[in-house]
């Protein structure tokens, strides 16, 4: 069985004052029956990890460099993330693919570095609005899966997040049937490539305008094991409502 996971991506948001939201979450979820993850900006990762300690919330980074070290000004290696207390790293988010021109090959190299450093790689895939309208969504997702996911992954070291680009931060979400189609397709491709022991245990997250009002309906989908949440993860109350929906799913 794939682990249920509620993952929050704070993106370029959060300062020291935001750590109070973590205190509220720790108080609300001392023993959750699903995984909880926060990926804060790099400036907060070590402080957040120390604040949580051995608590039930995991931390992670929003990106990493493929190299272990070197002359890469402004970048962070997977080993540095591990050293700062992180357990996960998001790679291939559509905002990285779009804003920084990241290809599938770059994403794959980052995922390989993450796994090699002992992190769980959250590999993001998703189509643009134009690709959805042209009817090539599954072709796009299939290409991204093949090109972005390394060969040496397991159900413990890999999470796949489906984030339709046109739904991120827009308030729009695909229909339930569209989510079912893509998540079933991803699951089938993972089983085909890695076998049932791995393919059925990789957590599949849906991302793209997930909020308290629609979380329960999304989590009722068979191959949706959780969510990668943006803005709604910044406040403990909002993220808590999504966590509650996942625990009840």
Which residues form the catalytic set?
A: 93, 163
Cα–chain-centroid distance for residue 223?
A: 15
Task: Tell me the two tokens of residue 107.
Answer: 């994403």
Half-sphere exposure of 234 (CA within 13 A, CB side): 13
Within the chain, where are the H helices? 19-28, 42-52, 78-83, 94-99, 104-116, 129-133, 137-148, 176-194, 196-199, 215-219, 236-248
138 and 127 in contact (C-beta within 8 Å)? no
DSSP string of 185-220? HHHHHHHHHH-HHHHTTSEEEEESS--TTTHHHHHT
SS3 158: strand
């Amino acid at each position: 069985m794939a682990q249920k996971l509620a993952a929050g991506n704070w993106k370029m948001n959060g300062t020291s004052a935001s750590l109070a939201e973590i205190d509220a979450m720790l108080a609300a979820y001392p023993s959750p029956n699903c995984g909880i993850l926060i990926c804060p900006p790099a400036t907060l990762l070590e402080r957040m990890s120390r604040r949580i300690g051995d608590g039930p919330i995991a931390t992670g980074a929003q990106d990493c460099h493929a190299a272990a070290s070197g002359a890469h000004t402004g970048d962070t290696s997977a080993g540095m993330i591990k050293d700062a207390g992180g357990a996960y790293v998001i790679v291939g988010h559509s905002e990285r693919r779009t804003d920084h021109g990241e290809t599938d090959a770059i994403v794959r190299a980052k995922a390989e570095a993450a796994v090699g450093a002992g992190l769980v790689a959250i590999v993001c895939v998703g189509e643009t609005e134009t690709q959805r309208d042209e009817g090539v969504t599954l072709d796009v997702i299939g290409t991204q899966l093949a090109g972005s996911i390394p060969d040496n992954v397991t159900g413990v070291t890999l999470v796949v997040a489906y984030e339709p680009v046109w739904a991120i931060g827009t308030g729009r979400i695909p229909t339930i049937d569209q989510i079912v189609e893509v998540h079933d397709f991803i699951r089938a491709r993972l089983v085909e490539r890695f076998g049932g022991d791995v393919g059925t245990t990789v957590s599949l997250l849906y991302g793209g305008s997930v909020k308290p009002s629609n979380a329960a309906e999304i989590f009722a989908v068979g191959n949706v094991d959780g969510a990668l949440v943006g803005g709604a993860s910044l406040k403990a109350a909002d993220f808590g409502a999504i966590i509650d929906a996942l625990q009840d799913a």
